[in-house]
Structure 1
Amino acid sequence: MLKAELRKKYMDKRKALSTDEAFLLSEKIFENFVDFFKPVSGQKVHIFIPIEKFKEIDTQICINYFLSRSIKVFVPKIVDAKLISVEIFNDTKFEINNWGISEPVSNEDSGFLGFNYVITPLLYCDKKGNRVGYGKGFYDDFFKMIPSETKKIGVNYFNPDENIDDVWENDIPLDYLVTPTDVLSFFNGVE
């Protein structure tokens, strides 16, 4: 299927979830992430703040876990049409931007790129790690800047069952996908 078709299909599937269903599935995704990756104190994670109106995965569960275990947390913020990484703490102040996304008040780019994990929003991911986002390309640009050993991890309520037919040469695939039932690796057995 084409990205536009998959974007619509999976946005509709997400909207069909109740708030309770979305939260329970988010909890299972979080549990699968922790069980598989076993994050530890001192590691650094870049993770998105969910867009509630789009019923994105509730990453606040992960953020609270990371902060409580001295895992450094960085979140994206779009400044001058570019994705920057802002480090957050328990007392970080947030505001709602023009797109209805909660983001840190600070515009200070940490400049840090050596993350252990980048947990990435998406609408769909196929069995090769190709993802469908919202079509702005922020994460593809971001992925070009981070070290190759950083694990690029998508999170989704749904397992892949269709191929993306219009993958572009600038699209950078994920390394892993975490769903409520699975952790899929796209390394073909090589890590």
Structure 2
Amino acid sequence: MLKAELRKIYMQKRKALSSDEALLLSEKILENFLNYFKPKAGQKVHVFIPIEKFNEINTWAFIDAFLYRNIRFFVPKVVADQLISVEINRDTAYETSGWGISEPLSNDDSGELHFDYVITPLLYSDSKGNRVGYGKGFYDAFFQSISPTSRKIGVNYFSPAEKIDDIWENDIPLDYLVTPTEVLSFFSGEE
């Protein structure tokens, strides 16, 4: 299927979830992430803040888990049409962006290029780690700018079903996909 078709289908599927269903599925995704990757104090994780109106995975629970485990974490912020990484702590002040995303007030890019994990928003991922986002290309550009050893991890309510037919040369696939029921590895260097 084409990305535009998949984007429409999976946006509708996500919107059909009740807030209670989305919260429960998000908790299962977090549990699968923590059990599989076992993040440790001092590691660096880049994690998106959810767009609630799009019923995205509730990553606030991820952020709470990272704070509890003393994991350094960073969130994306779009500044001048570029995605930057802002390091977050308990005292970070937030504002709501034009996209309806809670973002840190700071526009200071951390300059960090190596993350242990980059938790990536998406609408759909196929069984090869190719993903469908919102079509803006922010994460493909971000993936090109960071260390190739940073593990790119998609989180989604849904497991792969359809193949994405229109993969472009600048598309960068995920290394892993975490759903409420499984963790899939697309990483060729898996131990």
TM-score category of the 2 structures, normalised to the smaller one: over 0.9
Cα deviation, residue 189, structure 1: 7.3
List aligned pairs for 1:9-88, cutoff 5 A: 9-88=9-88
Question: Partners of 1:153 and 1:188 in 2: how far apart?
Answer: 14
Cα deviation, residue 119, structure 1: 0.2
Question: Partners of 1:116 and 1:88 in 2: how far apart?
Answer: 16
Question: Partners of 2:187 and 2:159 in 1: how far apart?
Answer: 17
Question: Partners of 1:171 and 1:63 in 2: how far apart?
Answer: 27
- Aligned-partner residue type, residue 67 of structure 2: L
Q: Kindly, what percent of the aligned residue pairs are identical?
A: 71
Cα deviation, residue 146, structure 1: 1.1
Paired residue secondary structure (2:154): strand
Cα deviation, residue 24, structure 1: 0.1
Question: Partners of 2:119 and 2:159 in 1: how far apart?
Answer: 16
Moved more, 170-179 or 92-101: 92-101
Note closer, same or farther for the CA distance 1:25–1:119 as it changes in structure 2 (3 Å cut). same
Paired residue secondary structure (2:134): coil
Cα deviation, residue 190, structure 1: 3.7
Question: Partners of 1:106 and 1:126 in 2: how far apart?
Answer: 35
Question: Partners of 2:110 and 2:149 in 1: how far apart?
Answer: 19
Show the counterpart of 1:95: 95
Paired residue secondary structure (1:142): helix
Cα deviation, residue 127, structure 1: 0.3
Alignment TM-score, normalising by the size of structure 2: 0.98
Show the counterpart of 1:126: 126
Q: Which runs of 5+ in 2 are unaligned?
A: none
Paired residue secondary structure (2:63): helix
Cα deviation, residue 188, structure 1: 5.2
Paired residue secondary structure (1:45): strand
CA RMSD of aligned residues (A): 0.9
Paired residue secondary structure (1:49): coil
Cα deviation, residue 69, structure 1: 1.2
Q: Which digits, 9 at most, give the CA deviation of each residue in 1:78-103, with x for residues without a partner? A: 00000000001111100001111110
- Aligned-partner residue type, residue 130 of structure 1: N
Paired residue secondary structure (2:64): helix
Displacement over 3 Å in runs of 4+: 188-191
Alignment TM-score, normalising by the size of structure 1: 0.98
Question: Partners of 1:61 and 1:101 in 2: how far apart?
Answer: 16
Q: Which runs of 5+ in 1 are unaligned?
A: none
- Aligned-partner residue type, residue 135 of structure 2: G
Moved more, 61-70 or 119-128: 61-70
Cα deviation, residue 187, structure 1: 2.6
Q: How many residues align?
A: 191
